[in-house]
Amino acid sequence: MNKTIIQTTNAPAAVGPYSQAVKVGNMLYLSGQIPLRPDGNLETGDIKAQTTQVLKNLKAVLEAGGSSLHHVVKCTCFLSDMNNFVPFNEVYATFFTTDYPARSTFQVARLPRDVLVEVEAIAIAE
23 within 8 A of 125, measured Cβ to Cβ: yes
Among 57, 60, 49, smallest CA distance to 115 is for 49
Cβ 52 vs Cβ 91: under 8 Å? yes
pTM of the model: 0.97
Residue ranges of the alpha helices (H) in 2-124?
47-64, 85-95
Rounded alpha-carbon distances, angstroms, from residue 123 to 27, 43, 58, 81, 87: 6, 25, 11, 26, 24
pLDDT of 10 = 98
Give tens-digit pLDDT for 103-125.
Answer: 999 999 999 999 999 999 999 99
Taking the C-alpha atoms of residue 12 and residue 58, their distance in angstroms, rounded to an integer, is 10
66: three-class secondary structure by DSSP: coil
pLDDT tens-digit series, residues 34-93: 999 999 999 999 999 999 999 999 999 999 999 999 999 999 999 999 999 999 999 999
pLDDT at res. 15: 85
Phi, psi of 68 (to 5 degrees): -160, 170
CATH level 3 topology of 3-124:
60s Ribosomal Protein L30; Chain: A; (3.30.1330)
Binning pLDDT at 50, 70 and 90, where does residue 126 land? confident
Q: Phi and psi for 108 in degrees, rounded to 5?
A: -120, 160
For the chain, the structural domain boundaries read 3-124
pLDDT at site 1: 73
